[in-house]
Structure formats: structure tokens, C-alpha cells
Amino acid sequence: MNNNTATPKGLAVLLDAATPTFYIAIKDDAKGLLVERQYSHREIKGEALLSVVQEIFEKNGLDIQSIRYLCNTKGPGSLTGLRIVMSLIKTMAQILSVPIICMPTLYALERSYTSTTEQKHQTIMTCLMARKHFYYVRFSGSPEEAFEQMSSERLCEKARAVDRIVFASGSVPVNGCDNQPVNSVIIKQTPEVILDWCDAQYRKKAYQNYLDCQPEYAGKSVAEKNFENK
């Protein structure tokens, strides 16, 4: 028996916490989606994420050395979630010598919506809460990386010109938009959609190493602003 046989690398692993939900998913190149887990930020603490991933691998008889690449959504979104997952995923990429593929968070939400609806030719405005009364917003048809920050008042104005408003689950929809009850939906990300997109990027070699992979924070945190003010 040859003990020097290399472990086949066919797994893609998604770790994501840019929105109010932690996503963990594992996809086999040949078998498709194997594992998908979702947790609220109350159910799982960021520092426990690595142990949860290890438990999932062990429970499903998977070898961490079989990881081909890692993926996540890079923001904008939860500052804490982005920092935790980006730190973990960069560490894993360095140790395992595998690349990272980062999908823009708002684009991931938009794709998660359009993949489950026939209304793909609508003008869609995808929204993720940035802070109280402010949102990160993306309009369909824009470049994948494109987004802007806007107040809830501005969001209501823009809402009149779109066919559908998509809010990330956990983001509080704004009040006062005349057409909001009719044309807004609340969704979660779809890990399989993200993994399929990442797989296409991997095949095009559109990936990064752990040194170049950076989160999109879309501005300074409250703590950073307070520190600068002092």
C-alpha cells in the first residue's frame, strides 16, 4: 500500500457571516452539496466557528485535507461577522495552501433571490442594514461589486422606481415606503447558489491567496470613529 498517495481535493467550503446568519456549507465537486448549516449569531459565537466546522467534517467523515478552495461573501455587512470569518478563512487557506473566492454580499443576496423566481427581468433593489436608519443597497444590472449606502428616507425614494425590494433576513425593512408591502421580500442567502458561483470563478482561476483577500467594510466602525474623536 502506498502511503504517499495525495488526498484528492474535491471539496469547496463556504463560511459566511456578513449577514445576521452564519452559513456553513460543504460541496463535493462530484457529488454536489453535502452539508449545509445555518445559525443565528446568538446560536453560535464567532470564536466557536472553527470547532463547529471541525465537528461537521468529523461527523460526515470528511477530510479537511480534501478542501480544494474556500469561499465566503466579503461584504459589506456585519463588521464583527466579516472580521471573524475572514480571519478564520485566511488562516485555513494559509495552512492548507488553498485559494479563497470572495463573492460580494449584496450580489450573493440578489442571486439567491433571482435563482428561485421566474421574475429575472425585474429591476431589483437588494438591501442589507448598515446601521440604524441606513442601508447598504445594490441595484440589479450593476457590476457585481457595486453598492451604495443610503438613508431609509432615500431608500424609500428609490423604492418607487424598482419592481422588487429584497431585504436580507435579519435586516429590519424600512417603514413608510408607500409600495413596500406589495413589492418587498425578506430572504436568506442560498449557500448552493454562492458555491455554484464560486465554482465558476474557480474554473476561471478568478481566486485570491490569503494575503490578497480583504473584506469590504464599507466605512469605519463606531469604535474606530470614537477612537479617532478622542
Looking at per-residue confidence, does 180 or 10 come out higher? 10
Topology (CATH) of 106-187: Nucleotidyltransferase; domain 5 (3.30.420)
d(CA 44, CA 60): 20
Contact 151, 127 (CB under 8 A): no
Topology (CATH) of 11-103+191-229: Nucleotidyltransferase; domain 5 (3.30.420)
Q: Per residue in 136-172, pLDDT tens?
A: 999 999 999 999 999 999 999 998 899 999 999 988 7
DSSP states along 31-94: TEEEEEEEEETTTS-GGGHHHHHHHHHHHTT--GGGEEEEEEE--SS-HHHHHHHHHHHHHHHH
Find the mean pLDDT for residues 7-30. 92
Strand duo 11-16 + 67-73: pairing: parallel
Same fold, 11-103+191-229 and 106-187: yes
Listed by start position, the domains of the chain span 11-103+191-229, 106-187
Looking at per-residue confidence, does 63 or 219 come out higher? 63
CA 70 to chain centre: 12
Q: Per residue in 82-118, pLDDT tens?
A: 999 999 999 999 999 999 999 999 999 999 999 877 6
Residue 223: pLDDT band (50, 70, 90) is very low
Percent with pLDDT over 70 in the chain: 87
Q: Per residue in 24-53, pLDDT tens?
A: 999 998 899 999 999 988 888 777 888 999
Question: pTM (2 decimals)?
Answer: 0.89
Mean pLDDT of the residues in the chain: 87
